[in-house]
Structure 1
Amino acid sequence: MLGAVGYSDRAGGPVVRDGHPSLTLSMRDDGGPAFTEVWRTTADVTSGRHKGLAYAHDGEYLFCCGRIEETADYVTSTEAAYLAAFELIELLGYPNVVRVWNMVNEINDVDDGGHNVYTQFCRGRAAAFEQRQMSERLIPAATCVGSHGGGVAFYFIACRSARVTNIENPRQTPAYRYPPRYGIKSPSFARATYLSSGSPVRSDYLFVSGTASILGCETVYKGDIERQCATTLDNISVLIGPGNLAKYGIGADLTLQDLDSVKVYVKRDADIPLVRRMCSGAFSGDAEVAYLNVDICRDDLLVEIEGMVTPERLTASGGA
């Protein structure tokens, strides 16, 4: 086991337990069933701790998780946590960050200066990227949504030699080019990331970032959950569709039916039944889909959806 992330009604970790890092996220306060996301490898694993982070690696992949405790200054603390992560990446030799998840308690709460927690987080993250001179186009797929406690919890996957291709959506402005009204520092993520492990045995993945009802850089259909959910699904369809992937040299013929490990984040609990019906019609009946009642990074967004395409699906589609 390379790492485990529990989606539960409490926050815990990061810890190293039974030889692998473990993080528990406070994401369920609706009585829904807890679940654990497990990342596995066929190779031997070495685990450890570094400046509050817990990690494991197998020679090709690194899994790392951390937590930023609740504070009035998320800018400084986020910068420090991300710099520690970059330091670990450099020390262990896993230069290609593939996918990042950030779960932020009270994400839309506003401080005395008029900035919400998400804005503070983005400023701290951007400061770490600037210190490491990390190009915007090297920043991979990511999710940043609310949680029900525990400050900011985050985890990521990096690789040593596999090829990483970051993908944008023609329907949406790249997040790193958002205008200043969306924050002093723009969000830092790509809309999707394609991981190609190369030969002798290819094992490719496509990671889809948390995606919402945004066209260009604007939230659309404010207050209308049905149209926001439909727009979100349309955005993902275009993002992973053959026309867009071909621009990046990826020959996969994908649809929403190819997505798995889907997480659907819904702001209002009362909207979950409708969102569930819409997603059940869009995704494969074989796909694992989890619904989580948490806040979204913009107060006017009601739903956000992420997922991934596994090697099996990519092989069937001609992409691996």
Structure 2
Amino acid sequence: MPLDAASAHSAAACELWAAGGRPAYGERGGVRYGHNDDILFGAIQLDESAFAMTSDGKTPLQQAAESAYKAIFALTDALAFPYILRFWNYIADINGDSHGLERYRQFNMGRQDGFLSRGREVLGSVPAASAVGFEAGPLTIYFLAGRGATPIAIENPRQVSAYHYPQNYGPRSPTFSRASVARIGGSEVLFLSGTASIVGHRTLHAGDVAAQTRETLANIRAMLAEAARVVPQAHFTLDDLCYKIYVRHAKDVAAIHEELRLALGDAARLMFLRADICRDDLLMEIEASAGHPLEFGLRG
């Protein structure tokens, strides 16, 4: 649910990505998609009620996630878009427990199974991604894929890579890189994964949303510096980014917005969304991107 930064009330909004050429549209294996010569955008929604617990212990959510990722990779292979640039995952009741396991951990198991079943890497060169929660509804996944050069995965020197998290965060580690840089249409494009107040692998500043916002910005600065080191021609600054801010409690929007205003200035491109974060002690996270024509706007 989009939130107005000034009032924390819901507001109609949209995210506009621009691309050239005449697009082609279709559906395959439950994935709805559109693409031009360079970029493929797709979406899939799967209802967990279509799955039952299996004899080997796979939960409905785990199976839905595995099935969704299999369908996505089958589509990108069929249409010859070999590189996933970015995933967005939306999971109902992400912090809740079912079948004896936190639902985000179930999702991570299914996601990794989907990667492995289609011969995809689950360590190192993996796509950027976000995973946040909402109250109820089908598992929903959006993605961008490309045909250009292989995206370059970026890790944060202040953090343990998510795919190397210790097992106390779940039976399977999350499958995503902290960021990636892709070359699209002759330009470098940065995709920053969902970024929060985590240093090493631990959450910092539990209960303090302003401090979590400042720590998140420190992580974003560290990733921009690392991206510039790994891909010198992709020298992005804080001013270049479009920011999408996921907020657990609408009442915290004003405090988060003030921290962002102080750090980024009044001209920063910000969109606030009400969502649950993948850890129950995180109050907010930020994803961002740069190097492409993208704007946030109001819908009439």
Q: Normalising by structure 2, what TM-score?
A: 0.88
Matched residue type, 1:32: S
Provide the residue aligned with 2:286 in structure 1: 305
Is the 2:64–2:139 contact (alpha carbons within 8 Å) kept by the matching residues of 1? Answer: no
Identity score, percent: 36
How far off its partner does 1:284 sit? Answer: 4.6
Correspondence for 1:34 among 12, 25, 34: 12
Matched residue type, 2:282: L
The whole-number CA distance in structure 2 between the counterparts of 1:106 and 1:77 is: 15
The whole-number CA distance in structure 2 between the counterparts of 1:312 and 1:57 is: 16
Structural mapping, 1:60-75, within 5 Å = 60-71=38-49, 73-75=60-62
The whole-number CA distance in structure 2 between the counterparts of 1:161 and 1:310 is: 15
Is the 1:53–1:64 contact (alpha carbons within 8 Å) kept by the matching residues of 2? Answer: yes
Is the 1:258–1:283 contact (alpha carbons within 8 Å) kept by the matching residues of 2? Answer: no
Provide the residue aligned with 1:25 in structure 2: none
Provide the residue aligned with 1:141 in structure 2: 128
Q: In the alignment, does 2:244 pair up with 1:263?
A: yes
* TM-superposition CA deviations, 1:109-134 (whole Å, max 9, x none): 10131x11111111100001111221
How far off its partner does 1:203 sit? Answer: 2.4
Change (3 A) 1:297 1:257: same
Provide the residue aligned with 1:15 in structure 2: none
How far off its partner does 1:162 sit? Answer: 3.3
Correspondence for 2:153 among 166, 173, 178: 166
Correspondence for 2:103 among 117, 120, 124: 117
The whole-number CA distance in structure 2 between the counterparts of 1:36 and 1:269 is: 19
SS of aligned partner of 2:68: helix
The whole-number CA distance in structure 1 between the counterparts of 2:137 and 2:18 is: 26
Is the 1:257–1:282 contact (alpha carbons within 8 Å) kept by the matching residues of 2? Answer: no
Is the 1:78–1:121 contact (alpha carbons within 8 Å) kept by the matching residues of 2? Answer: yes
Provide the residue aligned with 2:277 in structure 1: 296
The whole-number CA distance in structure 1 between the counterparts of 2:198 and 2:132 is: 15
Point out which structure has higher relative CO (alpha carbons under 8 A, 6+ apart).
Answer: 2
Q: In the alignment, does 2:258 pair up with 1:277?
A: yes
* TM-superposition CA deviations, 1:157-205 (whole Å, max 9, x none): 00012341110000001100001111111011111111113xxx62221
The whole-number CA distance in structure 1 between the counterparts of 2:262 and 2:186 is: 31
The whole-number CA distance in structure 1 between the counterparts of 2:266 and 2:207 is: 29
Correspondence for 1:286 among 253, 256, 267: 267
Provide the residue aligned with 2:37 in structure 1: 59
The whole-number CA distance in structure 1 between the counterparts of 2:273 and 2:156 is: 25
Provide the residue aligned with 2:72 in structure 1: 85
Provide the residue aligned with 1:19 in structure 2: none
The whole-number CA distance in structure 2 between the counterparts of 1:294 and 1:58 is: 31
Tell me the number of residue pairs that the alignment of Structure 1 and Structure 2 aligns. Answer: 280
How far off its partner does 1:311 sit? Answer: 4.6
Provide the residue aligned with 1:21 in structure 2: none
Is the 1:259–1:284 contact (alpha carbons within 8 Å) kept by the matching residues of 2? Answer: no
Change (3 A) 1:49 1:8: farther
Q: In the alignment, does 2:195 pair up with 1:182?
A: no
Is the 2:2–2:271 contact (alpha carbons within 8 Å) kept by the matching residues of 1? Answer: no
Matched residue type, 2:106: Q
Matched residue type, 1:272: V
Structural mapping, 1:89-104, within 5 Å = 89-104=76-91
Correspondence for 1:231 among 211, 215, 236: 215
How far off its partner does 1:8 sit? Answer: 6.3
